[in-house]
Amino acid sequence: MTPLLSVRDLRVGFGRNPQTNEVVRGISFDLADGETLAIVGESGSGKSVTALSINRLIDFGGGRITGGAMKLKRADGSLFDLMTATEPQLTGIRGAEIGMIFQEPMTSLNPVLSIGTQIEESFRLHRGLTGRQATAAAKDALDRVRIPDAARRLKYTPNQLSGGMLQRVMIAIALACNPRLLIADEPTTALDVTVQAQIMALLAELKRETGMSMIFITHDIGLVAGIADKVMVMQNGQAVEQGELNQILDNAQHPYTQHLLQDVPHFTKGSTTRSDGRRDGGAGTEPALKVDGLVVRFPLKSSFFSRATGAVHAVDGVDFDLMPGETLAIVGESGSGKSTTARAVLGLVRSTRGSFSVGARKASAEQSALPVQMVFQNPYASLNPRLSIESILAEPVIATGGRVDAGTRARMASLLERVGLPKNSLERYPHEFSGGQRQRLCIARALMLNPSVVVLDEAVSALDVSVQAKVLELLVDLQREFGLAYLFISHDMAVVERIAHRIAVIYAGQIVEIGDATSVLSKPKHSYTKKLIAAVPTIDRRHEHFELDTRQVPSLVRPQGYEPAPARWERFGGDHMARAEG
């Protein structure tokens, strides 16, 4: 039987001489009807370029297909040559036979048109539907992707919907014409883990209903297990390994696949947490950082002159303490208040109430205390591109009134060496470094002032998985060497499991569960923690069905003067406790 899609020795190049600047170098695969192929690789491996070449969108992205063959079996059984097709022919194929969804649902939709109009467009173009028929079809399409209250939502513009909802709208548009092939390019990377689980569940269900084939592109090999039939691992534009799902996951042959499976953080429900530096009752030692009753509210005003009518309760009564040499991970989804907590500790956000004490020093809520330093999420945005590394590292010293002398230079050199950067880095500029190296620079800069506490706000989230693992190792080493206390903010449970001693789960501005990492991850008590842990993809879950949960996060906007009820805590041995529910 002929496969739905057959790709042979595909080569794609960029720039003036595409032949000499190839990004995809000889990819071959077959995709049968109803089959799912997962393409796994890190950024720059050529996985997205491969996907964009299949529907020839690469022509618009500056790329040129330099060689190979691609054939698509059409609905009537005839073979369609994707390589030689003209642009008008391809327009008929895209959307109708090959649907596509992208990584960023926020930017894939036109912000000024209602989602209804955007879904109808697909029906208009490919099925010739107009007016009421198109609207009815659009409503059906939204129903199909399980968006509640579809008829009303058609009139919404994209800014009125959450990221997960928008990705469902994108799926509705991609599936409008019942394509027989769906290309999903990192469809869940920009989404929270529980939303990711919903989207994965939806894709699996839709695939069962329609019998379509799918090409699923991801950097996360853990996500592959739940959905793929076949896996292709890409590195540097080549497929280093491809085969059946079980064969790749259980019996990987290529060292790179083995590296992805073993060295990269995978979630194991608390069985690989750190065993060093447990708390020993805490008697006698002073905490490095103690946060008491932290509240951050942003007043809401309807206009410039009117009084505040309510407030966004971003952080609503958070307490924790952090011992020297310990990592406390704060986990939660976007909008839960975890970053706001971190920024309040550093004084970047003005806290409404609450107190901090850093070491022996008491710091008021307003002023930043210098023994706390921070490493930011985006290594590309947190270094001034116009300053040399020397100036960047000197800044904390200058800011605290110090002089840049031989001693400072010696410290810069030793820190750079300690974080694993070349000696000649000082005269260079940030753009000469890779993302992982930049993050190392940020770590070195944070350590310039000898802090006792380092706040790591999603510090490894923007990095490729294998770089992530190395930076985490570095962080653990530095912690042991300097006795640093880490406040580690993350949404990624697999990463948290590697580095945390204790975990605080934060939901809607409040800590719902806190305790020893192993205990929280293996025996979660609060329903939200359970849901969060259940949503994490792992390589052990083969074709497991995620539950489709369409509950929305509660609104954090409260009327003026609202105070949350005091928390009741239930204790579960050691220091593991969870907020009582109901």
Partner 1 sequence: MRILRAIFGHGSGRIGGVIVGVYLLVAILGMLGLTPHNPITQFRVDRLHAPNSAYWMGTDLFGRDVASRLMAGIGQSFTVAFFSVAFATLAGTVLGLAAAWLGSRWDGIVMRIMDVLLAFPAILLALLIVTVAGPGTWTSIVAIGIVYTPIFTRVVRGPALSLKAREFVDAARTFGSSSSYIVTRHLLLNLVAPLTVQVTLALAWSLLTEAGLSFLGLGTQPPAASLGLMLSDSRNLMETAPWLMIFPGLAIMISILGFNLLGDALRDILDPRMRRAPA
- Contact between 372 and partner 1 per CB under 8 A: yes
Q: Which DSSP symbol is given to 423?
A: G
Of 149, 148, 154, nearest to 135 by C-alpha is 154
Crossing angle of helices 131-144 and 163-174, in 10° steps, is: 120
User: Nearest approach, Cβ of 432 to partner 1 (angstroms)?
Assistant: 5
Of 134, 136, 206, nearest to 170 by C-alpha is 206
Cβ within 8 Å of residue 457, ≥6 positions away: 339, 342, 343, 374, 375, 376, 377, 489
Crossing angle of helices 527-535 and 193-210, in 10° steps, is: 50
Question: Segment 414-453, which members bind partner 1 (CB under 8 A)?
Answer: 428-429, 431-432, 442, 445, 449
Q: Are 385 and 480 in contact (CB under 8 A)?
A: no
Q: Which DSSP symbol is given to 59?
A: G
Within a 13 Å sphere around the CA of 525, how many CA atoms are in the beta-carbon half? 23
Q: Of the candidates 151, 308, 399, 580, which one interacts with partner 1 according to CB under 8 A?
A: 399
User: Nearest approach, Cβ of 5 to partner 1 (angstroms)?
Assistant: 36
- Contact between 370 and partner 1 per CB under 8 A: yes
CB closer to partner 1 out of 138 and 372: 372
User: Nearest approach, Cβ of 441 to partner 1 (angstroms)?
Assistant: 11
- Contact between 383 and partner 1 per CB under 8 A: yes
Q: Are 421 and 437 in contact (CB under 8 A)?
A: yes
User: Nearest approach, Cβ of 119 to partner 1 (angstroms)?
Assistant: 33
Piece in contact with partner 1 (CB under 8 A), picked from 119-127, 330-338, 393-401, 484-492: 393-401
Q: Of the candidates 45, 50, 377, 437, which one interacts with partner 1 according to CB under 8 A?
A: 377
- Contact between 74 and partner 1 per CB under 8 A: no
Q: Of the candidates 28, 391, 522, 538, which one interacts with partner 1 according to CB under 8 A?
A: 391
Binding mask 315-354 for partner 1 (x = CB under 8 A): ----------------------------x--xxx------
Environment class of 255 (CB within 10 Å of its CB; exposed 0-12, middle 13-18, buried 19+)? exposed
Q: How many Å apart are CA 66 and CA 170, to the nearest integer?
A: 31
Q: Of the candidates 182, 195, 296, 374, which one interacts with partner 1 according to CB under 8 A?
A: 374
CB closer to partner 1 out of 79 and 348: 348
- Contact between 373 and partner 1 per CB under 8 A: yes
Q: How many Å apart are CA 177 and CA 425, to the nearest integer?
A: 54
Piece in contact with partner 1 (CB under 8 A), picked from 1-9, 176-184, 228-236, 387-395: 387-395
| Residues at the interface with partner 1 (CB under 8 A) | 343, 346-348, 368, 370, 372-374, 376-378, 381-387, 391, 395-396, 398-400, 428-429, 431-432, 442, 445, 449
